[in-house]
Structure 1
Amino acid sequence: MIRLFKHYVPHTVLLLGFIDFTLLMLAAEGGWLLREWQIGGGVDPEASRLPNMLVFAATLELAMIGVGVYALDALRSMRFAVARLVVAISLGALLLALVFFLAPSITFWRSNLLYAMLIALLLLTGARVLLGRTLDGAAFKRRILVLGAGPRAARLEALAGREGAGFAIAGYIGMNDGPIAVADAVNRSDIVNLPAHVVRLGASEVVLALEERRNALPLADLLRIKTTGVHVNDLSSFLERETGRVDLDSLNPSWLIFSDGFSAGRRLSGLGKRLFDIAVSAAILLLTLPIVLLTALAVKLESEGPAFFRQRRIGLYGQGFEILKLRSMRQDAEVGGVAVWAEEDDPRVTRVGQVIRKLRIDELPQAWSVLNGEMSFVGPRPERPQFVSDLEARLPYYAERHMVKPGITGWAQINYPYGASIEDARQKLEYDLYYAKNYTPFLDLLILLQTMRVILWPKGAR
């Protein structure tokens, strides 16, 4: 993987993204040349239409990222890939219409745009037919050597066996630190020259997966491996990179304290984020006002009670605030004010509520909380005080998720379906900690783009 602005991106995704951008540029040029040939006109110099081509390629590339063209299911299935490419190109056409309205100097003729999009669909689909199996092959997987052969090493074995894993395990070395949990592990005492063994296996990285690390770190071995040019990593850092979340099972306080992350130097990016929140929340409140009012009317007509409701949530630094939402449940959804987890196919949800929850329309009034500064567009979802008290007592490091401002969408929301249990909360906490630790404007942009995928293909919305 390659680290971009503190966030890890698989080599295969970067390579495919570069290929796609090149093909989009070719499609834009092809559409232009086809139209010129059709009308029998002379071909303008390439430099004169380069801005148009760049805007075309960049807009469609962003749409492709947003709808999940580079997600695992789309990379492994042609059916998913083609479906999402069609949606991405259609969405890209709408975005380009807006861009061309704001900047007429870089516009395409309508026939140019149609030709370019058809060519783009053919080229992008063809690239996936030709490269699909190659990108998922062993040639693009990093080979790692695991120091350890116990349950922690077995976790890596299971992770490497999953579809889409970006690494393959070259071998395991038993370090006499506990019971053996993986097959084919070689005992350290049977290896005469460990650095030579690492090189012979073709490993580019060594992962430390010992069961007991106190007074047991093989410092001499690690030093020799490091000086051969092979990267050495601990289990927590490796899992964070490969899964996009902070693994609670392998986590210890010292790793959180001394690892890279939770940077305090965020004043400039924080100011930019706040200005973005103010501008976009004001625009959303203005533009979606008719939708909100019509939905509020539908809510009132279907069931008794107010169309909007306020609910207490926990925000930045554990401070409470109230969010405003469109009501999607019956007025008597919670008896006596006792907080209850939402369930799949929850009977308390009204018919209008089922629709607005899937389309996220019920979340639109929360833009007011963003405008007030109590929330941001991107961040961990704020929970209710009753749930927070319970989760802080049962989940380690839960309070640390409140060190960043809560958001309407977030890293956990785009990577994990709606949670309705302690185990779900634990999984989402791992994603929230990753976001808090690795926050950058780049990660915010990535989350905002991929929120479109969640809206278009909702999974577990409740």
Structure 2
Amino acid sequence: MAPVRDEARPRGLLGRVNGVAVLLVLVDAAALLVMAAKTAVPGGWAFVLACALLGIRASGRIYRRRLMLSWLYDLPRSLATTAIAFAAVSVAALAAGWEPEVFPQLLAGAVAFAVVGEPVRLAVFAFGRWCRRRFDRCDRAIVIGAGQVGTDLAEVMLRHPEYGLRPVGFIDPEPLSDRKLPVDLLHEDLATAIERLGVGTVVIAFSHAVDSPLVDAAVTAHRLGCTTLVVPRMFELHQDGPDVERLRSYPLLRLSTAPTARPTWWIKRFVERSLAALALIVLSPVIALCALAVLFESGRPIIFRQVRVGMDDRKFVILKLRSVRQTGVDDSDVRWSVEGDSRVGPVGAFLRRTSLDELPQLWNVLRGDMCIVGPRPERPGFVRQFSAIHELYWARHRVPTGLTGLAQVHGLRGDTSIVDRSRYDNYYIANWSLWLDVKIVLLTVGELCCRRNR
């Protein structure tokens, strides 16, 4: 077996930069300059076309991190994004009332962009493959599963460094004792191995293992910032797609990066904190009236403070308007508040029915404890209890908790199925987008309106 080399360690930020993607952006920028200089596209529309080209090509994942640096494989996608950008700008020019003469100029600009850029892109891909082979510019990879598929993948990585992966070990709780492995079998958990060896990619190769440990491995790799590639079941029948990589004849599904690592996540946090600040100002009279009603019904304290578990199992104090009369026994950490609870008075019932009791949580959003949209936070006692019920319950703590979430808009509030709630929360994390947040907010508003009309 090939031992892991001593220099296997994290490369740091510079080592994780996608050099090929940077070169592709520079090539496109240079092609745009040539287009502007050599064609008759009006200056304003040249700028619009340039922005459209870069934006659409970025959204079309032309600048993505990839294993296979193949110009021919990427050419249809590259030409398609160029054509879409040209069509979009042409429609915009038509809507702006430009004369038909501008369209041949725009077409000439798009053609010039492709004619100049594509040969250089071919050279960039060839240069990238050469660098990977010559300078070992490869991500260190751990293969989960030491069966036939995992062994084949590790051997391909060793024989073909141009794919940019170098295996440093296998993890398999029940390896086949008679199989000779191309790299060492690691006798440690995945998180420890990733940190010790400076691993950047985790490849999950199916074996006799059930799915739950593999899902656990994928979540762990995500939380540690690793690229996660999965060999699909029945891979011989699997078609190529936008999230499919190729390692010789093996298709690998590239799992999306953790939401908190994406640029759009910072847009989400900025927008949500801004909305929370605005809502606290606008709704302050409503909060004051609700607080006065709580004071008259059950006295002080008006604000109910409770410890909840947030992202990465960090604890924070959540704020709510108190809707339950105080008793001599504090069992709030292990007891659900159910419908018909004798401790809930008329004011408390109204606050709960309309969710007005949760308005102080806008302060938690402003402080950064929570988001507007995310998995609902639970009390520490329930987290321990639910973790024993559902083995992947912990995975919902990969992102900040929220005022509302996907589980809640599907009717999973209070004393409902923990497994279903966890699955909805983990689905939200795996498929997060700004639009999904908007959809959840709209569904929440619709649900609140329906509740008030009952």
Q: TM-score, normalised by structure 2?
A: 0.44
- Highest CA radius of gyration, 1 or 2? 2
Q: TM-score, normalised by structure 1?
A: 0.43
Q: Which has the higher contact order (CA 8 A, sep 6+)?
A: 1
